[in-house]
Each structure stands twice: as C-alpha cells, then as structure tokens.
Structure 1
Amino acid sequence: MVKDIATARNDFPILSQQINGQPLTYLDNAATTQKPRSVIDALTHYYEFDNANIHRGVYTLAERATEQYEQVRQQVADFIHADRDEIVFTRGTTTSLNWIALGFGAQVLQPGDDIIITVMEHHSNLVPWQQVALQTGANLRYVELTADGELDLAQYRQLLSKKTKIVAFTHVSNVLGTINPVQLMTQLAHEVGAYVVVDGAQAVGHFPVDMTSLDCDFYAFSGHKVYGPTGVGVLYGKREWLKKMNPVEFGGEMINLVQREITDFKAAPEKFEAGTMPIAQVIGLGAALTYIQKIGWSTIETQERRVTAAAYQLLKEIPGVEIYGPEMGPHRSALVTFNLKGVHPHDLATVLDTQGVAVRAGHHCAQPLMQTLGVSATTRASFGLYNQLSDVKRLAAAVRAAKEFFQV
C-alpha cells in the first residue's frame, strides 16, 4: 500500500466498484472520506484478536486493547502538535463542539457577554452556541462575508471587545472551501481576553494543523473525514481549560471515587470519556493517520490543489454554472460548490449519479450561509487524496450532460 499518490486509489476497496454501469467517481469527501485497506484491516484485527474493554481488566486482551487505545491518543497528540493529556476522544466533531459549548462555554459566559461566530458555520458550530446564548443570556454576534466569499476581518475586528468571551469559527468552510486565518483571528481574540474554539472538521484531512502555532484554546475534528472510521472524533483543549471544563456525560471510568452524595472525577482527558469508548474506531483512526503520514502532506496538498484547480476551471467554463467561494488560490481548500442555472441541486445530483458521479446536494447543514448566498441549496464536489484529473473530467462531462438533459 501507499506506493505513490497516483496509485493511492487502489488502496481504497470501495472505489473499485461501478455505479450505474460507470466507474465510481466519489466526490463527497467533505461529508465523509473512504477508508483505505489498512484502516479496514485494523478494525478487523481488533475485533478478531484484541476485543476487550479498556482501562478495566488486568487480563491480556484488556491490556492489549488499552495499550493500543492510549498509543493512538499519543499519536493524535503528535499529529496536531499537542500533549497527550490535551486529547479527548469523542464520537465526532459535533460531539466535541457540543461538549465545549455546554461544558466550558456555559460555565464562563455571563448575561451580556458576546459569543462571536461566523455566518459560514456548519450547524454543529452554530446551534450549540445558539443554545448556550439562550441559557446564559449571552449575545450571539455574526461575522459576515466579503464579496469574494471570505470572512470580513474588518468587521470581525469591530465586533471584538471586552464583552467578547467566546469566539468560535470553522478552519475551513464546508460550503465555500474558504480557509480562514486561524492564527490571526486567535491572536485578535486573545487580545480582548476571549477563548477561541475552532471547528477543524474540513481542515485536518487536507493539510497539517499545529496547535502550537495556531494557539487556539479548543479544536475539534472527526475521524471519518481523515480516512478513518465513523463514530470517533477528537477534542483538543489546552490543559488549563480542560481542567476547568465540566464533563457533560457521566458514568463509569471517568471517576476516582463515587460516594452516595458526591463524586470525585479523574483528571482530563479521562474525566470526559465516560462509559465504553469507541475503542475499535480509535484504533482505526490511528491507522488512518499512519496512512496519511506515509503519503506525506506535501504530496497530498499538491495533488488536491491540482485536482481542485482543474475542477474549478472546467466547471467555470460551463455556461450557467455559478461557483461560490473564493477564487482558486491559497485561500480555497479542496472543494468546489456550485449551481447550474435552472436546475435544482437535488435534480443535478441525481443525474450525476446516473453517470457514477457522487456529489452532495442540499444546504450542507449551513442554512444561514445559504440565506446569505441567496439560495436554498447548492451542489458540492469535494476532493480527497485519491481523486485524480480523470474524476473532475467525469464531473464536468456529467454536468454538461445534465445541462443538455434539462435543456437549460
């Protein structure tokens, strides 16, 4: 496996099939990535040879499972340049962001405080803050977009004040592909004493992230968007804030001592990991990170930029296609969201599926952004390390065929 980027597609069993008589062209990586054989094998091996609960038994299987689970915690810490005790395993980005909002945000917010988020947020980084604002009496403030689909940093600076307690924003927009300046936005937020929460779901699988340089207080991402299994995610938090943060789920293994009237919790990260964790999925996540590292970030980034640029250009050349987000360049990640004039995105995606091309159509769990763009839905083609120029050529050909089919 992992000989070079040109043959990476062969490492993903699902991509070898045909859909509606056509080679599968999978372009919905922003929703979930496919899994290489090494990840599938890691899951199978755990269930065949090491299946036991962790942190509890003293027998061999339990000790092997615990060791593998904790090895991945260290691997994740190294992957994002953090410390082991700053890594909490969750069910995914959504869970991580909810825990941060409910366990930390609700604790530090007071009536009249400001929470700054952006209009490009996925609902997972919008609704939790909406709910916490209602509970605490805090105010929710939105950073709007510039005409080119980037955050309005001038407005962001104006919104920041001594009343700002939380700033929460996405590293990469799942609709626009916009790569936000996390380091700058964090620095500005810290200057007014605010805590910074970053949704990294659309970033971690595409380029390296470094908690040391970004300096955000919390960061969240999902295993299934970095070629790992579903059901596992990561919550990074600075040590001092995880110590202050309250768990929002309670049960076994996250405690030192339970008495009839009071419970003493373990230190982070264990105090957040109640009950039986997604052990196999954590081990699969470790295999996925190993796979990424074997290919190498420079190779992945080069390939994805090449494919994204080709898709952007080919779609732009089709009459009636409108593309959303920044121009092709350093501020755009590996996706292209667009509409074909006169055709509903769901209808377009259905026709593309007849050609074996899998894209996402809908509001992408970003309805306030759709309202800002003046549309109800869009079509999104998003790319991974296994996508090649042949995939985007099939995409463009399928869109042209749909245009002819609908006579628009």
Structure 2
Amino acid sequence: MTIANTPAELLASSISTLASRYAEKVQAGENADTEIASIVSACKDLDALVTPPESWNDRMAMSYTISTAIALLLNWDVFQILAAQAKPTSLETLATSCGCSKSLLRCALREAVAHRMLDELSPETYALNSRSSCLLDENKAAWIHYLTDIGLVTAAYLPKYVKSINGKIPEHSHRIALQMAFNVDETFYEFLHRKDPKRGVNFDKAMQRHIKGDAQASIESVFDFSILRPGAVVVDVGGGKGHHCIRIAKKHPHLSFIIQDYEANGPSDGEDTLPEALARRVRWQRHNFHHKQPMDGADVYLLSNILMDNTVSDCNRILTNIVDAMVPNHSVLLVDDAIDTLSEDSHSAYSSSMNLHMLSCFGTLFRTQEDWLMLFSEVAGGKLSIVSSWMIDAGRMIFALRRKF
C-alpha cells in the first residue's frame, strides 16, 4: 500500500529540487533570480502550512516588532560596534558601549536574531552576518533607518487615513497619513528639509543608495544622449543633488545641464567640488516644479521619480508647466518612474509593500501602464505624445515624450 505524501512533504521535496537548481546555476555563473523567487515562495508556503493559524495571525499582526528592533539597533550603532569588535561580542560589552540597559538591548537583539539579522553564536554573544553587514554601508543603513522610522510611524496612521477618505484616493492634494502621524501641514519633502532637517539628511543618504545601486540601470543606458547637438541643454526637474546629471555629464562632455530643486544646494555627497571643466557645464537653479518652468526651449527635460510622489492633479500641473516650455517636435521629456505591472512575479510582493508605503507618505499609488497613458493624454489639452518607452529593472519605466503642437 502506497502512502501519499503530505502537503508539507511535497513542498519540502519541491524546495529541495529548487535548491539543487539554484546551486547549479550559481556554480555555472548564471542568473538564478527565478530559482531564488521560487524557493522563497515555497518556503513561505511551507511556513504557512505548518504554523497554526492563530500563531500565524499573531506573527503577521506583530511584524512591526522587527522594524522597531532594527531602529533601536541602528540608533545605538550596534552594527558598527560589532564591526569594530571584529569578533563575537557579549551582551554586557554591547550594553556598555551603547549606554543602555542589558534588558532593553537583549530584547532588541533577540528579535534581530529571530529574524536572522544577527547571529547568536553562544548564549548572549552576538556577531554580524551577511545581512547585517550590509548596514555598515552608510547609505544602505540610512534607507533601512528611514523605513523603520518614518515608514513605521506613518504606516500606523494608514487605517485612519484610509477611513478619512472613505477608501477612495482623491486625485487632488489632501491630508495624508504622514501629516497625521507627525501633526504637520507640510508635504513629505517640505517636512523633511524644513521641519526636520536631521531626517532630511538621512533621507538624502538613503536616496543615494538607490541612485548608486549597481543593479539599477541608468537612464543613459536606454536614451542616447550622444545624438544631441553640441551645447544642448538638459534640465533635470526636481533633480536634487544632481546625481543623474553629474553622471551623464561625465559621459557626454558636449552637453550642458541645469539641475532644478527647491533648495538647489549643489553637488551630492562625495561630489562637493566638481572638476572645473565639469562645473562649467553643470549648474543648479532654485525652482518649484509646481510653478512655471523658467527654462524655455531646452533640448531635454528630465523627471526622475517625481510623478510617483504626486496626485493626478499635481502631476498634470507639473507636466503642463514643462510642456509649456517645450519646443514642439524638438524638446524631449524623459519620465523615469515606477510602474505597477500587475504581474505575479517576485517583484509584486515588494511592489505591494511599497504601494502601501507610498500611500502613507504621499497619498498616491504606483501607476499602471493604463494610468500613465491616461495621465499623458490629459496633459495640456493632448499636446504630449509618447515617442518611445522602455521597461527597465523590475517595476520601472522610462517614457520619452514630445510636444506635438
């Protein structure tokens, strides 16, 4: 008599097979993203299958505790202390270095160990692992700190916010979860850079983590800036510290760049002094993109991760201001932004999480392809037309648009 395998055994067998495929691809130097996603999904299924429903629900509802623990450990510089020790470190030593009580630190450390953020090599003796070692990078740590600070606080107000809008996101500016959480009237960026500059500095560092990430394709990898005429002007609207323009300017010495932002404070960290030849071609201009675009007739206007932070009505205003400055059938508008592909791939879970984060901080969601097409068609009486588009990275789209008339 053959005994059928239980669902748990079938899943375990599937995980074993997938793990073998993963190992083979890694050894062959091939991309194993598909296998990684499948293994993670199958392990989650197995976890859910063998965990009692009440225990599972408790764990899901209390998932904020790891965010809290990471925030505490970052605030106490625990990861840097462990790195400086260069060996497994006792709770007693860590508590002395942090200046906090052992009982409080123990609580945070246990949570980190339970979620595989730290290793406990012997009772109350801790060490970094590959995951926590990533947080020794200042920019990567800043991103995680942002998520466990502003992200966690604003998320707590999301149910209240959604109730206030009756479950329907307005297309116009309105009071959002971030403003409720911190009791402010300012928008996200105004709050960070004017009301809470310390958090603003941390956020700027966090954004460098994304911009400098090796996995992120650059905009110049899909749009050929070399075809532009000598002396052509590229205007980066909302360009912040100028990460994109400085990078492109180094590759294309025949172009000039204007970086527009609220503060227009100059180069990013690590670029405090631009080489003279580069500095002659790159300048900053104070500009609020909700107002009239001061640079008429530029060859290229760049909007990178700007529209995702704004409601439909605000996006329409931002785009109209640029369209009014464009030369018909000449100027190019490059929109580099997030897109919701509505797929069921491994990216969709992260996209769903970030969608809730966007809703908390900006009162918006990632747009689908249909949403983007609708938005562009409604700008300035239909003056914009898409001439090219590229899907790059997971959940990221670049549109090239021209003014028709």
Normalising by structure 2, what TM-score? 0.29
Structure with more of its chain in helix, by fraction: 2
